[in-house]
């Protein structure tokens, strides 16, 4: 087990200049007991824990003090490929994990160690349970009071007692004279002890189970002696036929036939007899070429050439076979034939089943794609202007309730971003967040998208039916974007779901309850649409419990700098391109523009500029044609470009252009 498989990724970090107050806030917000301190280059330079904060309090240090003044500076680290057991030996509670270039890659905390070793313990327990279940011998375990705690299937067969009747019963009531109670009292193992159960002679090995010096139970392994005799005979047979019989398993599902180098049949298994309806006595010691129609086993036995997946005609059937040569001490000694499919039609059935499973998997994948996780929080919403602070405060209050929220605003103002943030700050955080664009789906398909359908609901309906958005969002949030474009007939059905908190699938007869929070968004004037009778008044009041009106970008231009900076950083991460800086003149032009597309238009413009221009600065001359400026600002912008061009070509005193 390596550190990389169990560490906590993306740990919360602090910078050297962050204060003790910042650390306390981080610890309180994320319930941390420590955090690494990293440089701007992502290299770890220290570690601060709750002990440092407690020490600062006891020493009356100001909480405005940088964490670099109190943090542990000589930090012990491990690499991604450090064995977990080796990391566990290091006597620290918070262990940073660094990559090969010494940058912080994760953290190891006591919780991570517990998770790792619990997984290891769980895996070991599963392996033991699987071993007990699949063991050929009977296994019986009792506790210190003689109560049966383990009783596997083999024990049930040997004793004739069902597992359900044995578990929890007193051992002497189920199997008398097992000797297990004696082992409990003496603490001594007993091996190869004969035992008779239901007139059947068996052998038992018994051992105490101890925790330290205390006996807490006993274990018995019970074996049928008749099986030992049979195993001895089979072993003797195996030794006589050497490597040939070592490759044959009587219990294989595939039919197996073995020939010697002369093509004479020396062994067949039970499956071969059953497939062809021929007793092995009629096959053994006879040439395969005479007894098996269209066989080529004798050829393989003579040439040593393997033949895999060949079609062989047999009594009007096409069977799929493998023919494999056998070697003894490097010498060709014969061949064996394996029947993969007794009829080629089996393959068709398997392929049909495989295709059905593939379609099922595709359906599940599609359902997983439809269930989204809310990605954004309030920390992702830029803007410190008065109007944006008011909107974010109202949204934060809305997150504390389960009330329906109607988000209005022009296109590109961030309505879905706010929906994500409200969901992630609510009690439904971590539950499904399902978004649907009501304008993007044809009216005739919208009902099945929202409520799903049952099998046979209409021609072409998927087998097993399909879950709708409401069903996928159960216990979470559904976000109805562009609600103003929803048809009136669909509005009535949505209103019923809001009122009754239940819905019916299309073509279904069972009403399904749903626990869901509804958020809706639109850029259309719903009150005006109500007057025009294109939007239901009752649905409007149901949705508009909490109204969140997002301002257009032109009404909070003071946030342009922060927005542009954040968008530029995100675009650089997305494209892998180096960042570019907006000059003051460019920012002045941005503030003059009315931004009809709002933040979305700003993001698109910045991405265009980032990809298309060279150099680290974005100046007014890079703005596309200046067509989006007012006439007054367009003239000012052209004058500014003219001055920049003159400065670039104005000769210096040496007669050469200025660099």
The answer to whether position 339 is within a domain reads: yes
How far is the CA of 590 from the CAs of 413, 605, 623, 639, in angstroms? 16, 11, 10, 17
**Which has the minimum average pLDDT: 73-77, 575-579, 643-647?**
643-647
The answer to whether position 435 is within a domain reads: yes
The answer to whether position 659 is within a domain reads: no
Q: Which residues contact 197 (CB under 8 A, 6 or more apart)?
A: 158, 159, 160, 175, 222
Q: Contact, 207 vs 217, CB < 8 A?
A: no
Please state the rounded mean pLDDT for residues 257-272: 88
The answer to whether position 242 is within a domain reads: no
How far is the CA of 215 from the CAs of 166, 167, 188, 192, in angstroms? 22, 20, 10, 21
Residues 216, 274 within the same domain: no
Reported residue count of the chain is 659
Please state the rounded mean pLDDT for residues 274-292: 84
pLDDT of residue 653: 41
Please state the rounded mean pLDDT for residues 203-230: 84
pLDDT of residue 655: 38
CA atoms within 13 A on the CB side of 285: 1
Domain boundary residue among 326, 343, 360? 343
pLDDT of residue 145: 92
Collapse the DSSP code of 63 into the 3-class scheme (helix H, G, I; strand E, B; otherwise coil) and give the result: coil
Work out the pLDDT band at 258, boundaries 50, 70, 90: very high
Residues 291, 210 within the same domain: no
pLDDT tens per residue across span 141-154 = 999 999 999 999 88
Q: Cα dihedral angle (630, 634, 636, 642), rounded to 10 degrees?
A: 170
Q: Give me the CATH number covering residue 408.
A: 3.40.50.300
pLDDT of residue 154: 87
Mean pLDDT, the chain, rounded, equals 84
Q: Is the dihedral of CA 559, 418, 439, 361 positive or negative?
A: positive
How crowded is residue 639: how many other Cβ atoms within 10 Å of its Cβ? 11
Work out the pLDDT band at 91, boundaries 50, 70, 90: confident
Dist CA 270 CA 49 (whole Å)? 69
Q: Look up residue 142 and give its DSSP letter.
A: E
Dist CA 210 CA 218 (whole Å)? 8
The answer to whether position 639 is within a domain reads: yes
Dist CA 272 CA 269 (whole Å)? 5
CA angle 370, 372, 375 (to 5 degrees): 155
If one compares 604 and 366, the residue with the highest pLDDT of the two is: 604
Residues 517, 565 within the same domain: no
Given the structure tokens 């002497």, which residue do they identify?
A: 172
Please state the rounded mean pLDDT for residues 408-435: 94
Enclosing domain of residue 55: 3-116
Domain boundary residue among 322, 343, 364? 343
Q: At what angle do helices 20-30 and 50-58 cross, to 10 degrees?
A: 130
Number of domains the chain contains: 5
Dist CA 54 CA 47 (whole Å)? 15
pLDDT tens per residue across span 149-202 = 999 988 888 888 898 888 999 988 888 888 888 998 898 998 888 888 887 888
pLDDT at 580 over 80: yes
The pLDDT > 90 percentage for the chain reads: 39
pLDDT of residue 652: 41
How crowded is residue 325: how many other Cβ atoms within 10 Å of its Cβ? 19
The answer to whether position 350 is within a domain reads: no
The answer to whether position 444 is within a domain reads: yes
pLDDT of residue 601: 93
| Three-state secondary structure string covering 418-464 | HHHHHHHCCCCCCCCEEEEECCCCCHHHHHHHHHCECCCCCCCCCCC
Dist CA 82 CA 95 (whole Å)? 12
Residues 526, 576 within the same domain: no
Q: What are the tokens at 444?
A: 């005739």
- Which of 442, 491, 494 shows the shortest CA–CA distance to 469? 494
Domain boundary residue among 527, 551, 575? 551
Q: Contact, 54 vs 31, CB < 8 A?
A: no
Q: Which residues contact 359 (CB under 8 A, 6 or more apart)?
A: none
Residues 483, 570 within the same domain: no
Rg of the chain (C-alpha set) = 38
pLDDT of residue 557: 93
Phi and psi for 17 in degrees, rounded to 5? -90, -5
pLDDT tens per residue across span 351-399 = 667 666 666 556 555 555 555 567 899 999 999 999 999 999 999 999 9
pTM of the model: 0.45
pLDDT of residue 659: 35
pLDDT tens per residue across span 474-492 = 999 999 999 999 999 999 9
Q: Is the dihedral of CA 107, 109, 111, 112 positive or negative?
A: positive
pLDDT of residue 651: 46
**Which has the minimum average pLDDT: 75-79, 322-326, 452-456?**
452-456
Residues 593, 470 within the same domain: no
Residues 42, 94 within the same domain: yes
Q: Contact, 307 vs 232, CB < 8 A?
A: no
How crowded is residue 278: how many other Cβ atoms within 10 Å of its Cβ? 14
Please state the rounded mean pLDDT for residues 451-480: 84
Residues 106, 175 within the same domain: no
Dist CA 53 CA 4 (whole Å)? 29
Q: Is the dihedral of CA 437, 440, 446, 449 positive or negative?
A: negative
Work out the pLDDT band at 252, boundaries 50, 70, 90: confident
The pLDDT > 70 percentage for the chain reads: 86
pLDDT winner (highest mean) among 81-90, 320-329, 382-391 = 382-391
Residues 402, 265 within the same domain: no
Please state the rounded mean pLDDT for residues 594-608: 93
pLDDT tens per residue across span 33-50 = 889 999 998 888 999 998
Work out the pLDDT band at 541, boundaries 50, 70, 90: very high
pLDDT tens per residue across span 103-157 = 888 888 888 788 888 888 788 777 877 877 787 888 999 999 999 999 998 888 8
pLDDT of residue 507: 84
Q: At what angle do helices 488-500 and 443-451 cross, to 10 degrees?
A: 20
Q: Contact, 376 vs 429, CB < 8 A?
A: no
Please state the rounded mean pLDDT for residues 401-414: 95
Residues 457, 495 within the same domain: yes
pLDDT at 552 over 90: yes
**How are the residues of the chain apportioned to helix, strand and coil, as percentages rounded to the nearest 5?**
45, 25, 35
Phi and psi for 126 in degrees, rounded to 5? -65, -40
pLDDT of residue 488: 92
The DSSP-derived string for 532-577 is TTSS-HHHHHHHTTEEEEPPPGGG-GGGHHHHHHHHHHHHHHHH-P
Q: What are the tokens at 35?
A: 């955090």
Q: What are the tokens at 61?
A: 């240090």
If one compares 623 and 19, the residue with the highest pLDDT of the two is: 19
pLDDT at 404 over 90: yes
Q: What are the tokens at 52?
A: 């440092």
Q: Give me the CATH number covering residue 629.
A: 1.10.8.60
Residues 198, 260 within the same domain: no
Q: Which residues contact 504 (CB under 8 A, 6 or more apart)?
A: 451, 510, 511, 512
Q: What are the tokens at 371?
A: 């269930």
Residues 305, 406 within the same domain: no
Dist CA 566 CA 578 (whole Å)? 14
Dist CA 381 CA 398 (whole Å)? 16
Q: What are the tokens at 592?
A: 């003059």
The answer to whether position 578 is within a domain reads: yes
Q: Contact, 218 vs 175, CB < 8 A?
A: no
pLDDT of residue 255: 83
pLDDT of residue 599: 94
Work out the pLDDT band at 643, boundaries 50, 70, 90: low
Q: Look up residue 10 and give its DSSP letter.
A: S
Q: Contact, 188 vs 215, CB < 8 A?
A: no
Q: Give me the CATH number covering residue 265.
A: 3.30.450.20
Work out the pLDDT band at 657, boundaries 50, 70, 90: very low
Dist CA 388 CA 396 (whole Å)? 12
If one compares 233 and 120, the residue with the highest pLDDT of the two is: 120
């Amino acid at each position: 087990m390596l550190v990389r498989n169990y560490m906590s990724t993306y740990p919360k970090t602090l910078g050297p200049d962050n204060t003790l107050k910042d650390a306390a806030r981080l610890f309180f917000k994320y319930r941390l007991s420590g955090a690494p301190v990293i440089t701007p280059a992502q290299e770890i330079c220290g570690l601060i824990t709750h002990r440092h904060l407690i020490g600062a309090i006891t020493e009356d240090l100001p909480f405005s003090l940088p964490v670099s003044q109190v943090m542990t500076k000589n930090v012990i680290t491990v690499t991604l490929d450090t064995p977990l057991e080796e990391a566990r030996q290091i006597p620290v509670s918070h262990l940073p994990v660094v990559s090969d270039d010494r940058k912080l890659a994760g953290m190891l905390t006591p919780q991570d160690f517990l998770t790792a070793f619990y997984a290891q313990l769980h895996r070991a327990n599963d392996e033991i349970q699987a071993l007990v279940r699949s063991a050929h011998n009977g296994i019986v375990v009792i506790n210190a009071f003689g109560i049966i705690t383990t009783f596997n299937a083999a024990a049930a067969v040997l004793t004739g007692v069902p597992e359900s009747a044995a578990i929890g019963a007193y051992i002497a009531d189920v199997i008398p004279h097992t000797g297990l109670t004696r082992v409990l009292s003496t603490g001594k193992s007993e091996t190869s002890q004969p035992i008779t159960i239901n007139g059947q002679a068996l052998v038992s090995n018994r051992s105490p189970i101890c925790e330290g010096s205390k006996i807490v139970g006993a274990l018995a392994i019970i074996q049928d002696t008749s099986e030992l005799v049979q195993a001895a005979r089979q072993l003797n047979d195996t030794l006589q036929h050497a490597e040939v019989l070592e490759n044959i398993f009587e219990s294989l599902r595939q039919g197996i036939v073995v020939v010697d180098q002369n093509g004479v049949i020396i062994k067949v298994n039970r499956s071969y007899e059953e497939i062809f309806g021929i007793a092995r006595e009629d096959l053994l010691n006879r040439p395969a070429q005479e007894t098996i129609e269209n066989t080529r086993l004798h050829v393989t036995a003579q040439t040593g050439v393997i033949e895999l997946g060949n079609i062989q005609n047999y009594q009007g059937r096409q069977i799929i076979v493998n023919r494999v040569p056998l070697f003894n001490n490097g010498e060709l000694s014969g061949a064996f034939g394996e029947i993969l499919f007794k009829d080629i039609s089996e393959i068709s059935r398997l392929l049909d089943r495989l295709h059905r499973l593939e379609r099922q998997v595709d359906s599940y994948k599609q359902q997983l794609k439809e269930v989204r996780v809310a990605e954004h929080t309030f920390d992702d919403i830029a803007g410190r202007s008065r109007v944006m602070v008011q909107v974010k405060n109202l949204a934060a209050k809305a997150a504390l309730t389960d009330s329906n929220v109607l988000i209005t605003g022009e296109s590109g103002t961030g309505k879905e971003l706010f929906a994500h943030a409200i969901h992630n700050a609510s009690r439904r955080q971590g539950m499904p967040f399902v978004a649907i664009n009501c304008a993007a789906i044809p009216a005739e398909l919208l009902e099945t998208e929202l409520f799903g359908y049952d099998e046979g609901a209409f021609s072409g309906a998927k087998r097993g039916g399909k879950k709708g958005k409401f069903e996928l969002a159960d216990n979470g949030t559904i976000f109805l974007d562009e609600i103003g474009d929803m048809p009136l007939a669909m509005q009535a059905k949505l209103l019923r779901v809001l009122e009754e908190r239940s819905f019916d699938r299309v073509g279904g007869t069972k009403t399904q309850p749903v626990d869901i929070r509804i958020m809706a968004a639109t850029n259309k004037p719903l009150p005006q649409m109500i007057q025009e009778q294109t939007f239901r008044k009752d649905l409007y009041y149901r949705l508009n419990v909490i109204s969140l009106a997002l301002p257009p970008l032109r009404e909070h231009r003071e946030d342009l700098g922060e927005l542009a900076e954040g968008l530029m950083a995100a675009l650089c991460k997305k494209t892998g391109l180096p960042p570019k800086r907006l000059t003051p003149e460019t920012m002045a032009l941005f503030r003059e523009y009315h931004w009809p597309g709002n933040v979305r238009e700003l993001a698109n413009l910045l991405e265009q500029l980032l990809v298309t221009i060279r150099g680290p600065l974005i100046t007014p001359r890079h703005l596309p044609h200046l067509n989006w400026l007012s006439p007054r600002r367009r003239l000012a912008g052209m004058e500014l470009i003219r001055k920049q061009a003159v400065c670039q070509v104005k000769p210096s005193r040496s007669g050469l252009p200025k660099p």
